[in-house]
Structure 1
Amino acid sequence: MADRNPMADLKAIEIMLIDDNRQMRAITAAILQAAGCRMIREMGDGAAALQSLHQKRVDLAIVDFNMFPLDGVAFTRLVRNSADSVDPFLPIIMMTGHSAKHRVMEARDAGVTEFVTKPFTPKALLDRIHAVIQNPRPFVRTEGYFGPDRRRRPLPGYAGPLRRASDRESVVYLPE
């Protein structure tokens, strides 16, 4: 829908904001509130966030990369792969001040849906949120990965479910 107001989407969703830095949570929450989000659950670390998810689900998680005792990558892996995960399809946006390629790849390989680097602009954060709301990616399960399809663009000449010779059978799931 071209004339649909993306800000209206934020009024209806609950976001879990997970960052051990209180000031960063306050800044991010202010951006979300200014954009229309009314339901924000703030958590100081990944372990508390996981426990909270078992009590009440959310529609989206925004998680910091570097936290203690459970960082954003470990949080993401547990949400995606733990036998007692309440929502393995939960959209997860990773935010970090460390944008080295190996960090981005580690987050991607854990199953993060989107990635934003601190300091970020309100537009950059809202663009990532709108991407997961308006264009959810299908989920893929392979022998070593479960999460959003990491292929962001079609490859010319690609005609099957396997992308590499080393790929085994893969199953594609759509988010619930």
Structure 2
Amino acid sequence: MPLAPAPAAVDLSKVKALVCEPSLPIRQGIRLALNNVGIRDIVEATTFLTAHKACQEGDHDFLVLNQEIEANDSTFIMRELRSGALGRDPFILTVMLLSSREEPKVRSVIDCGPDDLLLIPFAPDQLMNRLKVLVERRKPFVVTHDYIGPDRRAAPRPGATSATQFQVPNPVRARGTNLSRDRYDRLKQDSLVAIGVERIKRLAATMDWECNALTVSAREGKMTAESTYRSLFKLEQVATELATRVTKQLGHTTETIDGLVELCRGLKSSPSNVAFSDIEIITQTSRRISGTYTAR
């Protein structure tokens, strides 16, 4: 029986890293950790604007990003990266730093899609070890209507369907094993297409869920201006992203989706006057749209 081929050695000296961290002592510790594993090509960003610009324009494989830069929440940057709205590679390997154990902040970091997180203060060895693990065993990604990132669930929640997992490319490993840029770009494009289709399905299903919630609330006499506004705002957001994605990825026209967006926008301006007949129109329109995309 032939032996399995040995895994390719990873030369981290070829890796390009971006460190978005305002504190000089923390940056020095990160640089030490990266140097210790062979990474020398390191760009530093110390303000929110320079961090955003570096993520947008850089060709980096590994990102260390503080959750808070100049009192700005950097989870916005991470979400934009994962969604493909920012930067060249939504699969950039990322460790996010946070300085608080407070549950809302920890949850916010987890929900924005980094590969791992580290609590400040941390030793350089901790970052080195996290990076080594991520290079060898990156978690597969999952997609929902509001999340794209590593699957951290030990098991599906009771009653929930198991989310499809996607094996995504690892830019650090690719660079460190001399994978050709053309080959990496093909892997990246294949993953983008698969994840994009799944995102479209999830967005369409979310529209149905929001419409059902509105209908139930109206029938039970539990509608309030605030709850109606929230639902309409959510529908508008979801439909707007859906229109963008089906145009870009599938080449579809979006008149019906655009009509739903405008309808939600108009009703949202006076949520206390939304009638059950308005909800029925929204629901019927949403069902026509979701019927086209949920079964793809």
Q: TM-score range by the shorter chain?
A: 0.7 to 0.9
Matches within 5 A, 1:100-115: 100-115=102-117
Q: How does 1:12-91 map to 2 (within 5 A)?
A: 12-68=14-70, 70-91=72-93
Tell whether the 8 Å contact from 1:45 to 1:71 is kept in structure 2 after alignment.
no
Correspondence for 1:119 among 107, 118, 121: 121
The secondary structure found in structure 2 opposite 1:173 is: coil
Query: 2:179 matched to 1:175?
Result: no
Q: Please give the per-residue CA displacement for 1:60-104, whole angstroms capped at 9, x wherever unaligned.
A: 101111112643312211111253442221121011221233322
How far apart are 1:32 and its partner, in Å?
1.6
Larger radius of gyration: 2
| Distance in 1 between residues matched to 2:163 and 2:131, nearest whole Å | 27
Partners in 1 of 2:150 and 2:7 — Cα distance? 27
Residue 140 of structure 2 contacts residue 167 of structure 2 at CA under 8 Å; is this kept in 1? yes
Give the Cα–Cα distance (whole angstroms) in 2 for the partners of residues 46 and 92 of structure 1.
Answer: 17
Is the CA contact 1:46–1:75 (under 8 Å) kept in the aligned structure 2?
A: no
8 Å contact kept, 2:14–2:39: yes
Q: Please say if residues 57 and 88 of structure 2, whose CA atoms lie closer than 8 Å, have aligned partners that are also in contact.
A: no
Equivalent residue letter for 1:173: F
CA offset digits 1:122-145 (Å, max 9, x no partner): 221111111221111111111221
**Sequence identity percentage:** 23
- For residues 38 and 84 of structure 1, do their structure 2 counterparts lie closer, same or farther at Cα, with a shift above 3 Å needed? closer
Does the CA-based 8 Å contact 1:45-1:69 persist in structure 2?
no
**Judging changes above 3 Å, is the alpha-carbon distance between structure 1 residues 84 and 78 closer, same or farther for their aligned structure 2 residues?**
closer
Secondary structure, aligned partner of 2:51: helix
Q: Which runs of 5+ in 1 are unaligned?
A: 156-161
Q: Which moved more, 1:31-40 or 1:120-129?
A: 31-40
State the alpha-carbon separation in 2 of the partners of residues 87 and 106 from structure 1. 22
More strand by share: 1
One-letter code aligned to 2:70: F
Distance 2:6 2:142 in 1: 28
Q: State the shift of 1:55 in Å.
A: 2.5
What secondary structure does 1:76 align onto? helix
Matched residue, 1:165: 159
Q: Relative to 1, partners in 2 of residues 1:84 and 1:126: Cα closer, same or farther, differing over 3 Å?
A: closer
Instruction: Give 5+ residue unaligned stretches, structure 2.
Output: 170-296
Of structures 1 and 2, the one with the larger relative CO (CA 8 A, separation 6+) is: 1
The 1:147/1:29 distance shift into structure 2, 3 A limit, reads: same
**What aligned pairs does 1:111-150 form with structure 2 within 5 A after superposition?**
111-150=113-152
Range 46-55 or range 113-122, more displaced = 46-55
Give the 3-state SS of the residue equivalent to 2:126 in structure 1.
helix
Structure 1 pair 82–25 and aligned structure 2 pair: CA distance change class (3 A): same
Q: Distance in 1 between matches of 2:79 and 2:121?
A: 24
SS at match of 2:69: coil
**1:174 corresponds to which letter in structure 2?**
Q
- Which has a greater percent of helix? 2
TM-score normalised to the size of structure 1? 0.79
